[in-house]
Structure formats: C-alpha cells, structure tokens
Amino acid sequence: MNEWFFALAGLVTVCAVAFSIYNSNKNKKALDNVEKMLDEAIKGEFHEEHFSEERVSKIESKLADYLASSTLSAENVRKDRDKIKTLIADISHQTKTPITNLLLHSELLRETDLSDDQKESLDAIGNEAEKLRFLVDALVKLSRLENGILTVEPKEDDASRLIRDIDAAMRKKAETKGLKFTVSEESISATFDYKWTMEALSNIVDNAVKYTEKGGISIALTATEMFACISVKDTGIGIAEEDIPKIFSRFGRLSSSREKEGVGIGLYLAREIISKEGGYIKVKSKPGEGSEFLIYLKK
C-alpha cells in the first residue's frame, strides 16, 4: 500500500513539475512576443499579421490590437501632416506673387504726380500690403513649427552673436525714429537654435521700436546660474499687468496699440519658439513707463 502511495505521490510531483515547466515556457513565450511587439513598435515596424497565429494570451491579443491601431493612427497623422505641408507651401507660393506686385506697383505710383489724397491712399495700400506679407509669413512659420514640418534644433552656441546681429538688423530702424539704440554683451554660451531664436528676438525688438516714440531701446546679455538672459528694454507706452498675458495670445492686441501696425502674432510666435528650446520669456512693464522683455535661454 505504501509503495502505491509513494508511486502516486511521485507521479503527482512529476506532473506538477512538468505543468510548471509548461506554464513557465508558455509565459516566457508570451513575454518574448510582447517584447518583440514593443521593440518593433518603437522602431515603427510593427505589423499585426506577425502575431496573428502566435497569440497565446488575451494580453498579447489586446496589445497587438492596440499597437496596430497606434500604428494606423501614426500613419494617418503622417498623411495629415503631409497634406498640411502641401497646403502651407501652396498658400506661401500663391500669395507671395500678388503681394509683391502690390508693393511694386505702389512704389511705381509714388513716382507719378499724385494729389495729397491719392498719396495718402497709396500709403495706406502699401502699409496694408506689408502687413499682409508679414501675416502670411508669420502664419506659415507658425504652422510649420506647430505641425512639426520645421523643428527647433537647439545646440550650444555663443549667445552674443544674437546681440550683434540684432544690432545690425534693427539699429537703423530705431535711429530713423530718433530713438537711442544701445547694446551690451558678454560672451555667454547657451543652447538655442540660431535661426528661430533670431526670429523670436527680432519680433520682440521690432515691437519695442514700434511702440516707442521717444527715449530708446537697450538690449543686454547677462548670465544667470542656469540661463543666458537677453533683456530688451524700451521707454514706450508700457503694458498694464493684467494685460501682459493677452499680448502672448494668438492675434492678441491691446486697445492701446490698435493705431500701430501689426497683426498680433509676433509675440505668440516668439513664445512658442523660446519654449520649444526649453527657455521662457518674462515681461516687466507699467503703462507709460516702458517695458522690459527678458528672454531666458538654457545654458
């Protein structure tokens, strides 16, 4: 009797061990398949049919379905992005020629004998054409940036180069208005995309010149522990504290600036650029006392 008992116990033990090994191998196979699916999904090479005959668990099945739907979604996003890219290119191309022609014929008309009223109307046409050109260019840049068609690629560079180049680009415009334009700099390394950061800085400095009628604009580059800070300070009309968030909204313009040229997208674009580089923009301002924009670029 004891012999039969021990034989039965041994058989049960062998069966238990065998079942355990079987389950272990089954689970290992499932985990291997899950790992393979994830690896292929990361590489963008996942195809559901690779696993249609090998599913050994509900988890594998659900994961394969999820990855398949994610792959399809990613492909649809890519196709939509390509359509947006084509649309933006078409808008840019189709509007560039008529705007250029408007400006060209406006300049040709200035060389003819015109009455004061005609000259005033011509100036209005030229100003609106310039505004339209800036709007189209800004919207194209913003759309490309937001949709990932163009990307900000920060790299370590000398931030003082930005100051020198903005000085060369904006000094004449400021001095033509009778404004004092001063810059100070020191060699500071920061991480930024030169082209896009110049776009952001140009928009901020252009606004400073636009909204300042007397006094001047000063630009300074200084270093903090973690950032290179570009200060753009003016003696212009200033901004109320409660209105500061509004100037960074898309097409955000204050009632006090309605008489000035502009479309309300420059500061929005500037903030998008700087934030994509890992930096940020702060504003200090009081009505009638001017404004200071502080651009922080990561070191």
Is residue 19 over pLDDT 50?
Answer: no
CA 97 to chain centre: 27
Q: What confidence tens digit (pLDDT) does each residue in 83-94 have?
A: 666 666 666 667
Using alpha carbons, select from 85, 231, 191, 189 the residue that is nearest to residue 146: 85
Is residue 164 over pLDDT 90?
Answer: yes
Using alpha carbons, select from 273, 274, 252 the residue that is nearest to residue 264: 252
- The answer to whether 220 and 231 have CB atoms below 8 angstroms apart is yes
Q: How confident is the model at residue 181 (pLDDT cuts 50, 70, 90)?
A: very high
Decide which of 267 and 106 is more confident. Answer: 267
Is residue 135 over pLDDT 50?
Answer: yes
Distance of alpha carbon 36 from alpha carbon 68, whole angstroms: 14
Give the tokens for residue 141. Answer: 């840049």
**Average pLDDT estimate for 126-138:** 76
**Average pLDDT estimate for 286-290:** 88
Give the tokens for residue 284. Answer: 């200090």
**Average pLDDT estimate for 87-104:** 72
User: Domains of the chain (ranges plus CATH)?
Assistant: 1-150 (no CATH), 155-298 (3.30.565.10)
Is residue 232 over pLDDT 80?
Answer: yes
Is residue 62 over pLDDT 90?
Answer: no
- The answer to whether 287 and 240 have CB atoms below 8 angstroms apart is yes
Is residue 221 over pLDDT 60?
Answer: yes
- Helix (H/G/I), strand (E/B), else coil: 126: helix
Q: Half-sphere exposure of 291 toward its Cβ, with a 13 Å CA cutoff?
A: 23
**Read out DSSP for 56-102?**
-SHHHHHHHHHHHHHHHHHHHHHHHHHHHHHHHHHHHHHHHHHHHHH
Is residue 26 over pLDDT 70?
Answer: no
Q: Which residues pair with 132 in a beta bridge?
A: none
CA 55 to chain centre: 42
pLDDT at res. 59: 55
Is residue 77 over pLDDT 60?
Answer: no
- The answer to whether 138 and 269 have CB atoms below 8 angstroms apart is yes
pLDDT at res. 53: 42
**Average pLDDT estimate for 58-70:** 57
Is residue 263 over pLDDT 60?
Answer: no
**Average pLDDT estimate for 153-170:** 93
Using alpha carbons, select from 195, 184, 199, 183 the residue that is nearest to residue 157: 195
Instruction: Confirm whether pTM is higher than 0.75.
Output: no
**Average pLDDT estimate for 193-211:** 92
pLDDT at res. 18: 47
Is residue 66 over pLDDT 50?
Answer: yes
* Mean model confidence pLDDT for the chain: 75
Q: How confident is the model at residue 151 (pLDDT cuts 50, 70, 90)?
A: confident
